[in-house]
Amino acid sequence: MAAQKKKKLTPVQQEYQSLAKQKEPPRPIVRNCVRAFIAGGTICAIGQLLTEMFIHWFGFTEKTAGSPTVAVLIFLSVVLTSLGVYDKIAQWAGAGSAVPVTGFANSMCSAAIEHRSEGLVLGTGGNMFKLAGSVIVFGTVAAFLVGIVHMFLGLGGS
């Protein structure tokens, strides 16, 4: 497809494209990967620390400590997004801040904050799920399909 687009360009446009490609600075892929690893790992380490706190201080089991851990991570993400801190973290970390559940909370909170001037229903409520809606739909469909496969393979307990 790129070759097809290049054919439709005039010679001057093709020359400009090649010049622009030569002048484009190289992307720091290794640096970006290291930053994403550090940020994502730190978020996950904080989650693990919260889980351990819920187990040892509040009497949760390993199985039941997950829900409050996720709730606290979401709450922290929303607070940091509201204060403008999470965006700076995301700018530095790249994909490392987008992958965990905190990135999902950040995307919903950012959309809600951005459209709050349009009102609660049409602004905040209507636009909050634009970015996150596809994630919710895909997650629901994927969970359904995994459940069906799980059921047919007889892996479910009674």
Q: Is the pLDDT of residue 1 over 50?
A: no
Rounded CA-CA distance 65/39 in Å is 23
Identify whether 6 is part of a domain: no
Q: What is the mean pLDDT of residues 74-81?
A: 93
Identify whether 129 is part of a domain: yes
Identify whether 14 is part of a domain: no
| Least confident interval from 40-49, 74-83, 89-98, 149-158 | 149-158
- Where is pLDDT greater, at 57 or 118? 57
Q: What is the pLDDT of residues 32-48, one digit of tens each?
A: 999 999 999 999 999 99
Identify whether 146 is part of a domain: yes
Give the pLDDT of residue 129.
Answer: 72
- Where is pLDDT greater, at 54 or 25? 54
- Where is pLDDT greater, at 1 or 142? 142
Q: Which of 14-18, 65-69, 127-131 has the highest mean pLDDT?
A: 65-69
Domains in the chain, number: 1
Identify whether 72 is part of a domain: yes
Identify whether 106 is part of a domain: yes
Greatest distance between any 2 Cα atoms in the chain: 71
Contact between 113 and 127 under an 8 Å Cβ cutoff? The reply is no
Structure tokens at 20: 């622009």
Give the pLDDT of residue 110.
Answer: 81
Contact between 102 and 125 under an 8 Å Cβ cutoff? The reply is no
Give the pLDDT of residue 148.
Answer: 92
Identify whether 8 is part of a domain: no
Backbone torsions φ then ψ of 31, nearest 5 degrees? -60, -45
Residue 153: Cβ-neighbour burial (10 angstroms; 0-12, 13-18, 19+): exposed
Rounded CA-CA distance 94/76 in Å is 18
Give the pLDDT of residue 98.
Answer: 81
Q: What is the pLDDT of residues 121-155, one digit of tens each?
A: 777 777 777 777 777 788 889 999 999 998 888 77
- The domain of 86 spans 40-153
Identify whether 26 is part of a domain: no
Scan for tokens 């690893």, then name that residue.
37
